[in-house]
Chain A
């Protein structure tokens, strides 16, 4: 197990390096200027600014320079925000997105699994198609529609929740709900299909024949096995959702990292593009590792020992 994890961590660093390099190169191929007021400056003044920030050097030199600074923990300053350090933005903004995403994931996963189990157990009956219809709606309608409806209905019309913000527990309810609906819907679908499949397996029949109680069969054998594919989805989904939902963050004015990433690309804010991409990449890579480790915990058959993996 230890050797396996060490090997995986080495791969993680390699994939991270590849992502970093590819991002840097493709970013440098992007057309446009990072200087917002380039049209006000003479070519000499513009040349001067490029020189200040080292943008007049060959891409290879800039790349080595960037790597050197990166290794020393310096991600540079944001062009868009008067050279304020990118690391500071990530440290301030990311935890907010992370909290929002995590809350939505926890709520969404629990409810999704629950609904999926119910639908699976009551297959082809009212509860099944009722849940599945709702879940189809949840998957098809984008989260910002729910957000707009919830905001107008519950904050403006009846004023039970604040319109926007991210301070009191009450202010978390609407954004987390809007974001969680999609998660519930998707996980419920997955869980239901897995439950249906698992319940048809021979070992369930065997368990029944052994005389196990229904609850023991469902909890010990059915759910546990049905969870494996669900965990596969949850990993990358968590990574995607905690790195910020641009629309939900904008609608509820949550100071997360979602909008930062988009803004950076549109404005050619090179250091910010690099910083946010690196953060997202790191999260994805870690999430995938965690999922692989979780497999082993859920399904003893996949458990990896040092001897087997080598």
Chain B
């Protein structure tokens, strides 16, 4: 009995103490915020992050995912660099010399060394780009070269073309050590300079790649760096560390000395690490957002990303879904505001369009969504019932079962239920069968048209509306709806080839989106958002809609 009493005394003391500490801790950090020391840089410029997965690959030729792309963009420098959604000249000294037909671009390179002390040359760019088009290097994402129209890229990548694999014919040439000439099939599209910041367009040095052989890019020291940071260590499975690159030409803008990434798969563990000060930033999944907004309101930040999420409506194998009124009914039946507020709750916004808002500005300096900020909404629940009644008459049906293909992650499961319930509730007589699958299998079923509705998302490959639009043309592998519209196809074709007249191209893409949304081949749902908490002393971290996913290249830490 005595021992018990003692323990409860100790426990209540600990409880009281930690409450006091929590209150002090809270007021302490906020007073620092308003206090005099708030603008002084801390001596220790170390930033600690948690991330859910390890780096899949460091080899710029193998990069397909955001984490790998992020590492490459933080540690390497291409001709340009994305920061705050705008491109800046990086290895290119500035505007290239452009030929009269706007097809040939001659870049002057800056003096910059690789991390082993040898200079970065134009030949390194030529080799890097050619390697992306060399089948022997097993490139994973090189179609970007064709998207931007680098000369012969499409032919070199096509196994049925006589030029297949002959990467020497790629439109890139070193005129001398510091001059790089890029030749395109047509005048450069507006996203030409921004795409040059991507991992696929980084320089790689031939002698180093060959000397490393199979070991190339397998560890932190089997890769060369020329960017703001170098990868100092990579402990596979547990995390990696960046150090500031003291030889980077623009090093004055890098304030952080060390950046640590720790692989933490459980959100609750990441939250606990943040609470105990072991990491300075933490991504919040929907169930944590409200609690954090209450306990640490000043630390919660949100950004809208450029991922678009939608339902494929399969009219190829399901004849009923060929009916426009039925597709409109499906579109109108889903309350998107409810979805983003109650289920996602992470900064995502409702969407009724193909191209997201705040992603890219046109030649007029206005956002693509400026004229149609709300997109093309099909209407509310009442409209849904009307469309559904019309569809029932036209099709001669009274009931309909829909097979809804989606993914099986815990966050998607809630969305699946929500969408299914909305359809059932607002379209009486409709039943929905959810088929939740792992990604690998989802892709397979989606490509084989084994679904009626399929939940999917799309992130941009380059900073241009076309990255969301051209996938819907007839016969594109991503167009798993069976929708086909000749007018749409011809508009996309003219915007793809008519890159010379920028203003006309811009309008053509807007027109194409309008035509598509009149037909509702898909049901747009939302534009993704990201919500996180960051310590008040951390400044300058950003999550841009295009470019490095987590941009800490200019972040810094204040005294605290």
Contact = CB atoms under 8 A, between A and B. Distances in A.
Do A and B truly interact?
Answer: yes
Contacts of A2: none
What's the dominant secondary structure at chain B's contact region? loop
A92 B263 CA distance: 15
A275 B515 CA distance: 51
Given A36-B65, A47-B159, 11 more contacts: A33-B440, A37-B64, A37-B140, A43-B477, A81-B54, A93-B237, A163-B273, A164-B264, A251-B268, A251-B269, A253-B265
A89 B14 CA distance: 43
B275 A156 contact: yes
A156 B446 contact: no
Contacts of B158: 44
- Among A44, A84, A156, chain B packs the most CB atoms within 10 A around the CB of A84
Contacts of A30: 441
A152 to B, nearest CB: 7
Given A82-B62, A151-B269, A252-B269, A266 B438 contact: yes
B477 A152 contact: no
A157 interface: yes
A82 B268 CA distance: 29
25 contacts: A32-B442, A34-B440, A36-B440, A37-B64, A39-B477, A40-B461, A43-B477, A44-B158, A52-B138, A81-B56, A81-B57, A83-B138, A84-B236, A96-B237, A151-B272, A157-B14, A158-B14, A159-B276, A164-B278, A252-B269, A253-B262, A253-B264, A255-B235, A266-B438, A268-B441
Contacts of A40: 141, 143, 461, 478
Size class of the contact patch on chain B: 35 or more
A92 to B, nearest CB: 6
A240 B143 CA distance: 44
B227 to A, nearest CB: 19
A38 B273 CA distance: 35
B105 to A, nearest CB: 26
A37 B268 contact: no
A211 interface: no
A49 interface: yes
Contacts of A42: 143, 477
B59 interface: yes
Interface of A: 30-34, 36-45, 47-49, 52, 80-84, 88-89, 92-93, 96, 148, 151-152, 155-159, 162-166, 250-253, 255-256, 259-260, 266-268
A93 to B, nearest CB: 6
Contacts of B275: 156
B447 interface: yes
A83 B14 CA distance: 51
B443 interface: yes
A251 B157 CA distance: 44
Interface string B210-235: 00000001100000000000000001
A36 B236 contact: no
A166 B441 CA distance: 34
B477 A41 contact: yes
Contacts of B208: none
A32 B62 CA distance: 21
Contacts of B441: 30-32, 268
A308 B304 CA distance: 75
Contacts of A39: 443, 446-447, 456, 477-478
B6 to A, nearest CB: 17
Contacts of A44: 158-160
A31 to B, nearest CB: 5
B141 A37 contact: yes
Given A48-B135, A266-B438, A255 B57 contact: no
Contacts of A259: 265
A83 B444 CA distance: 22
Interface string B417-449: 000000000000000000000111111111100
B269 A164 contact: yes
Interface of B: 14, 18, 54, 56-59, 62-65, 68, 135, 138, 140-141, 143, 157-160, 217-218, 235-238, 262-266, 268-269, 272-273, 275-276, 278, 438-447, 456, 461, 477-478
A267 B477 CA distance: 21
A81 B14 CA distance: 46
- Among A43, A250, A267, chain B packs the most CB atoms within 10 A around the CB of A250
A84 B269 contact: no
A45 B445 CA distance: 19
A251 B278 CA distance: 15
A52 B54 CA distance: 25
Given A32-B438, A37-B140, A253-B264, A156 B272 contact: yes
Instruction: Return the 5 tightest CB-CB contacts between A and B, nearest first.
Output: A82-B57, A255-B237, A32-B440, A32-B441, A82-B62
A252 B264 CA distance: 8
Contact of A36 (B18, B64, B237, B265): B64
Contact of B159 (A37, A48, A148, A156): A48
Contact of B237 (A92, A159, A266): A92
Contacts of A36: 64-65, 439-440
Given A39-B447, A163-B276, A49 B477 contact: no
A93 B235 CA distance: 11
A270 to B, nearest CB: 11
A37 B160 CA distance: 22
Nearest to B142: A45
B162 to A, nearest CB: 15
B269 A163 contact: yes
Contacts of A253: 238, 262-266, 269
Contacts of B56: 80-82
Contacts of B439: 36, 266-267
A156 B440 contact: no
A38 B272 contact: no
A92 B265 contact: no
- Among B65, B140, B478, chain A packs the most CB atoms within 10 A around the CB of B140
Contacts of B456: 39
Nearest to A151: B272
A250 B266 contact: yes
A34 B438 CA distance: 11
Nearest to A164: B269
